[in-house]
Structure 1
Amino acid sequence: MWAAVRGNRLFSVVLLAGVLLRVTTMLGFPPALWFNDSYDFLRIANDPFPHQLRPSGYGLFLWSLKPFHSLALVTFLQHAAVVGIAVLGYRMLVRDFGVRRHWAALAVAPVLLDAFQIELEHLLLSDTLFTVLVFGAMLGLASVTRTVGVPLFVIVVVFLLLRRTRWTAVAALGAAFVLPLGSYAAWYGSEHGRVGMSGVDGIFLWGRTAAFADCDAHRPPPDLARLCPYGAPDDRPASSHQIWEANSPTGWTDGEPFPAETNALAQRFAVWAIMNQPFDYARVVAYDFFVRTFAWERDRYPTVGTEARYHFPTEPRAHQDLPVIGGGYRTEVVREYAHGSGETRIVGPYADVMRWYQEHVRVPGTVLGAVLLAGAAGLLRRRARPRTFLFWASAVTLLAVPPITVDFDYRYMLPAMPFACFAAAVAWGRGRPAGPSRRDGEPDEPGTARARDTEPART
């Protein structure tokens, strides 16, 4: 592996820059950055239970590190894991797919250098762990970390069936997926009386339809009328924000899960709204996917406060002392886990460097869209590899599922980036083969163009 790495000066420079940026981040914003979801994950880590709002996979990861009582260790591991993805991804592209070294270096550069990616790794959120698990093809564990891992498993199974892979391999993959997913669903059922991954699937879909549902033009059944969103559709807050508002029809209260009856009614309302206004639903989803996702500039969406959490802060933020699901308050949860306040400290000049860097170095959505188009165009080439489609379809799924089921959020874009880049690199960056093309995984003959392209450079 290291022979492939040191054979490319461009990749060595990019890798070194990525490491230095992460070290600067850890020095500038110790021990971690916080998001509203962070406290729920720490509550799970302190006393594991299947959370009603989100899968507990990341909380269990934090639980495994609790004996160290170090939030800095958590963020260090998250930064190190993404650097590892870049190194292994580069090696995979060069050695397994015959991608030229400079193309492979460019493919992993966004993962290493994008400022918002680095900031996301420093947040106590599940996205980094999820990306690592998907990259490692551990889709069962990925699905109990973020449920968007489930459709990724479906894509992989379809890919293997189309490739006529031996049934034993498909069965082994299925078992590796079903075992953690089924175990978690059973655990959830034993605690909450309903087998599943969470108790908000209907609530989240309601939030999606709350962007357009018009109860004046389409009268809902009487038992669903109380879930009609407030105000005219054009004047409503973002879909995801409507769920948590103080006066939301969902009846959200800090520290309390949604009742099962509310979740069931919300799901029925969402299905009713989609059936009555299918074109409005398609319009909302299409706008979030095509416009928000691939826009050049970032908007303050879904709220100003939420989007601000994706920027390196200019001043410390004290923890709001709100109750959390499972018992206790945020400050208590943090103190139990970290044996301290856990509040982010702003340390100059390192913090100043990263704030400046974030203002100037990022991967705009338009660039991500161009990379996806390049991958799609590569699928039409005669020399296109089947795994190009697997990478490309995974990236599109990661981008499309949130707008379809919940709402758009900028942090949902970042796990898709490496797979989009890998698809484009495999499609367009490979060396010219000397003989007939081979199936994925077949060895190269000595002396072929692909074999020569993967040899370490000689100085």
Structure 2
Amino acid sequence: MLLSPLARRRSKSAMGAVKGNWLFAAVLLAGVVLRVITMLGFRSALWFNDSYDFLRIADDPFPHPLRPSGYGILLWGLKPFHSLALVTLLQHAAIAGLAVAAYRMLVRDFEVRRTWAALAVTPILLDSYQIELEHLLLSDTLFIVLVFGATLLLARPGATGWRRAAAAGALLGMASVTRTVGLPLFVIVLLYLVVRRTRWPVCAALAVTFVLPVGAYATWFQQEHGRFQMTGVDGVFLWGRTAAFADCDAHAPPPDLASLCPYGAKENRPASSHQIWEENSPTGWSNGKAFSQETNERAQRFAFWAIRNQPADYLRVVSYDFFVRTFSWHRSQYPTVGTEARYHFPTKPTARKPGLPVLGGGDRRTVVYEYSHGTGRTHIVEPYAEFMRDYQERVSVPGTVLGIVLLAGAAGIVRRRARARTALFWTPAVALLAIPPVTVDFDYRYMLPAMPFACFAAALAWGRRRPAAAVEVPEAVAAPEAQPADA
């Protein structure tokens, strides 16, 4: 089938937009070079406390009682290579590829101006904390790729077929067994299809392929732990949120919950999330052991009791974390000095406590050795490491800038600029930022998955090219059915 002259012009214009944007080419090249320097400077991976749990899952897969096992299952698939460097390489490559896909979709499918499209993907390519996150053995990079990839699939112009919806549903399902914050994102996507009056078979395809991995994982969890859930800590996490303000002196809790009262005056307590894991916590946390079902249920009851008795305090804590901590220009050492330090390129390898037990069996040393056939110790190589440390001090996206980008997307929705698709990206951005403060605590790494959504929404709202003037066609060659309807 021959393309019309107008279709050929549009096709060439789209390809030219991708190939001819030197700004995007420069940003992409810089992003790749920075990731290569990171690989050279920090061999083979950076470590977080959760990293050892994921490697324990990878050594012998099981449904982890504290966090979903999706990322651990991915690591299990890569275990035959016994290479932590391969894991970080794939994480870096996945984010770079996602940025390319997002840019091409903005230019080709949404006719966003090339400069706007390049600026939209600049944060995910050049933000220093994003690059450092990709080098950590954490589930966040996989989660970003899955949820943003699913949204890109559904946002493509044209009728949404059941195959595309099924693929998006499967990606969202896999994201939810990677991080449970993916569960509410499915509701947002489904509402998007309903608002656009999508045919019910398409919605059904999305729902079925989403439920399959989530339901299979919950069934697996039930077989191991006796509960049809994704994790066994939803109540404990919510307890941590209320531990920031719960006042058992002013409001006497039920007798069976009194032992869960947080210690000390409210103004002197540690961060919400830290109170869960600290020594002598009312939750009874101990390294290498899971919370019992009874503890989780009691913690949840305590949290609901605290929220009912102190709703204003709950709103104050959540609002401060969301509006102040999230959108502040400068970062603070929150939730703890040690936790926030893990998000910076280090000057020396992370100290590993010998013999510290890991939930599921073994200790940190043994689970790392079984996976990598080595110590897994980070080798810091200069001058590459120093370059990335200097870069991180100078180049990042402050929370205030992220807030401005979100406001730009919201303004575009109000002004009806590609309203539905802009909302499809803007709403998950807000949800990803709001859910952690509402349910457990604020953490800086939870901001990064929201960034590509917010930037994409702003580009859709304000960066689209104006429609070109209609091309006049001589009457002698114009077919009757090509005439305007009101001619």
Q: TM-score range by the shorter chain?
A: over 0.9
Q: Give yes or no for the alignment of 1:405 onto 2:418.
A: no
One-letter amino acid matched to 2:252 = R
One-letter amino acid matched to 1:116 = Y
Give the C-alpha shift of residue 146 in structure 1: 0.3
CA contact (8 A) 1:5 1:12 kept: no
Residue in 1 that maps onto 2:77: 64
Q: Give yes or no for the alignment of 1:268 onto 2:306.
A: no
Distance (whole Å) between structure 2 residues aligned to residue 312 and residue 173 of structure 1: 39
Q: Give yes or no for the alignment of 1:359 onto 2:393.
A: yes
Match among 13, 27, 32 for residue 40 of structure 2: 27
Q: Give yes or no for the alignment of 1:306 onto 2:306.
A: no
Residue in 2 that maps onto 1:140: 173
Distance (whole Å) between structure 1 residues aligned to residue 73 and residue 417 of structure 2: 43
CA contact (8 A) 1:318 1:343 kept: no
One-letter amino acid matched to 1:127 = D
Q: Give yes or no for the alignment of 1:12 onto 2:25.
A: yes
Residue in 2 that maps onto 1:90: 103
Q: Give yes or no for the alignment of 1:343 onto 2:407.
A: no
Give the C-alpha shift of residue 330 in structure 1: 0.3
Q: How much is the aligned-residue C-alpha RMSD, in angstroms?
A: 1.1
CA contact (8 A) 1:27 1:347 kept: yes
CA contact (8 A) 2:430 2:450 kept: yes
Identity %: 75
Residue in 1 that maps onto 2:311: 278
One-letter amino acid matched to 1:384 = A
Residue in 2 that maps onto 1:241: 274
Normalising by structure 2, report the TM-score.
0.88
Distance (whole Å) between structure 2 residues aligned to residue 68 and residue 282 of structure 1: 48
In the TM superposition, 1:60-459 aligns within 5 A as 60-137=73-150, 138-321=171-354, 322-434=356-468
Residue in 2 that maps onto 1:42: 55
Distance (whole Å) between structure 1 residues aligned to residue 345 and residue 43 of structure 2: 12
Distance (whole Å) between structure 1 residues aligned to residue 28 and residue 456 of structure 2: 17
Distance (whole Å) between structure 2 residues aligned to residue 291 and residue 30 of structure 1: 36
One-letter amino acid matched to 2:109 = D
Gaps of 5+ in 2: 1-13, 151-170, 471-487
Residues 39-70 of structure 1: CA deviation (Å, up to 9, x unaligned)? 00000000000000000000001000000000
CA contact (8 A) 1:311 1:358 kept: yes
Residues 333-357 of structure 1: CA deviation (Å, up to 9, x unaligned)? 0000000000111100100100000
Residue in 2 that maps onto 1:452: none
Distance (whole Å) between structure 2 residues aligned to residue 415 and residue 41 of structure 1: 19
Inter-CA distance 428–237: structure 2 relative to 1 (3 Å threshold): same
One-letter amino acid matched to 1:75 = T
Gaps of 5+ in 1: 437-459
Residues 121-142 of structure 1: CA deviation (Å, up to 9, x unaligned)? 0000000000000012111000
Give the C-alpha shift of residue 5 in structure 1: 3.1
Instruction: Please give the secondary structure, in 2, of the residue aligned with 1:41.
Output: helix
CA contact (8 A) 1:241 1:302 kept: yes
Distance (whole Å) between structure 2 residues aligned to residue 169 and residue 406 of structure 1: 34
Give the C-alpha shift of residue 393 in structure 1: 0.1
One-letter amino acid matched to 1:219 = A
Residues 370-406 of structure 1: CA deviation (Å, up to 9, x unaligned)? 0000000011113333110010001000000000001
Distance (whole Å) between structure 1 residues aligned to residue 294 and residue 243 of structure 2: 18
CA contact (8 A) 2:242 2:303 kept: yes
Indicate the structure (1 or 2) with the bigger Cα radius of gyration: 2
Instruction: Please give the secondary structure, in 1, of the residue aligned with 2:50.
Output: helix
Residues 391-444 of structure 1: CA deviation (Å, up to 9, x unaligned)? 0001000000000001000000000000000000000000012479xxxxxxxx
CA contact (8 A) 2:68 2:180 kept: yes
Tell me: higher relative CO, structure 1 or 2? Use CA pairs within 8 A at least 6 residues apart. 1
CA contact (8 A) 1:300 1:307 kept: yes
Q: What is the total number of aligned residue pairs between the two structures? A: 436
Distance (whole Å) between structure 2 residues aligned to residue 96 and residue 253 of structure 1: 52
CA contact (8 A) 2:51 2:138 kept: yes
One-letter amino acid matched to 1:425 = A
